[in-house]
Amino acid sequence: MGSASFAELQDEGGRIQLYVCRDSLCPGEDKTHYNTVFKRLIDIGDIIGVEGFVFTTEVGVISIHVTALTLLTKSLKPLPMVKEKLSQQGEKQVYDAFTDPEQRYRQRYVDLIVNPSVRETFKKRTALVNSIRAYLNDKGCLEVETPILQPIYGGAAARPFKTYHHTLDTPLYLRIANELYLKRLIVGGYEGVYEFAKDFRNEGMSRFHNPEFTQVEVYIAYKDYLWMMDRVEEMIEKVALDLYDTTEVQVGTHKINFQRPWKRFTMFEAIQHFTGIDARHMDEALLRETAKKLAVPLEDTMGKGKIIDEIFGTTCEPNLIQPTFIMDYPIEMSPLAKQHREHPRLAERFEVICNGKEICNAFSELNDPIDQQKRFEEQLALGKRGDEEAMLLDEDFLRALAYGMPPTVGLGIGIDRLTMIMTNSPSIQEVIFFPQMKPEKKKYKN
């Protein structure tokens, strides 16, 4: 506007309009600073510092009347220009937005600048973690750290990443879970421990899976899985209230309500509810035949427990939208869980399924070293059949159990998946700052 210009200044807190007047910025006759610095040198994306005074324009916009301007950092690459205009119906329309998922995940630094909603998603993630941490601290639990590099991976059924330590001259694994080390701390006398952990699993990638992910694991002595179910309801209800002041969260087309109490099914009850089939007393051969009838894909390496898990995952999980406890799993599926007190073929274990996916896993921990060794040996047999996710035998963990671990309950919550639900994010890549991706293809000039 002649000798005056307008711009928008953005920082972490939001945006404010700048009013840059040539006579204010360059008092006197010399207008070189205004012409060269502001009109020609300053571009969108540059980082600047301004001094001036705040006023309100004639149309009511709070602005800064700039009296001094300094270029702090020059942006050599132009930011994507997000254009907005109002339609004839008065609706805001956005053009040329930075929305391509691959570009956004590879250049998260640009994504965070031009898409304010992305910054809000990660603020919500931090608030979620803080809510869980506050809850556990209030219960008297101790936050701890355990090794990421482990000589024997364990605590879950998963394929690990393998590395090598040259000084020790030994192979090591990136942890797939921190369970066995946290249980060692319970053996050592702590009665409540937890850890927010980065875990690593060398398996498939999808909108629900990233090879590097975050979970919180919790272990409480002298409690069982029934006690932990009540605590999980209470804790995640608290998370929703802390984030939104309501227990209802919109996720896609569903409104999910985390208000207690949640529905509870045993695993076999869920299978029967959704398929009409009672699989409780089936042997492996009959389970394979049932899976085939239900169009559930199986591999030859799968044992009885994994077949049941595949049937449940295919026929039941997608139908569980509201938070639901699935409990009392077949013992073959749970080599670290205590045998059910009333049904010896089952384990005292539960998972929470929400929006069609597991968000947490817990069980009354097996604390009998003799039974635990037998379970490990059964896992070794599955490994010989070709199951790459079968557990190894951890002799030091068995030695720890032999000193005596009190009755204990353990819980693992997937922070990434819970954040997906709490922020209405359609993929896990949306809630991880820098998700793993295929190597970027280099572009060569002819």
Sorted by where each begins, the domain ranges of the chain are 4-73, 83-114, 117-262+322-431
pLDDT in tens, 401-435: 999 999 999 999 999 999 999 999 999 999 999 99
Q: Give the pLDDT score at 223.
A: 98
pLDDT, residue 407, reads: 97
pLDDT (tens digit per residue) in 6-47: 899 999 888 999 998 877 777 665 666 666 666 678 888 999
Cα separation, 125 vs 410, in Å, equals 23
CA angle 7, 11, 12 (to 5 degrees): 150
Would you say 210 and 432 are in contact if contact means Cβ atoms under 8 Å apart? yes
* Fold matches, 4-73 and 117-262+322-431: no
Chain centroid to CA 56: 43
CATH topology of domain 4-73: OB fold (Dihydrolipoamide Acetyltransferase, E2P) (2.40.50)
pTM equals 0.89
CA angle 225, 231, 234 (to 5 degrees): 150
- Cβ proximity of 366 and 407 under 8 Å: no
Classify domain 117-262+322-431 at the CATH superfamily level. Answer: Bira Bifunctional Protein; Domain 2 (3.30.930.10)
Question: Model confidence over 121-180: pLDDT tens digits?
Answer: 999 999 999 999 999 999 999 999 999 999 999 888 889 999 999 999 999 999 999 999
Tell me what the pLDDT averaged over the chain comes to.
Answer: 91
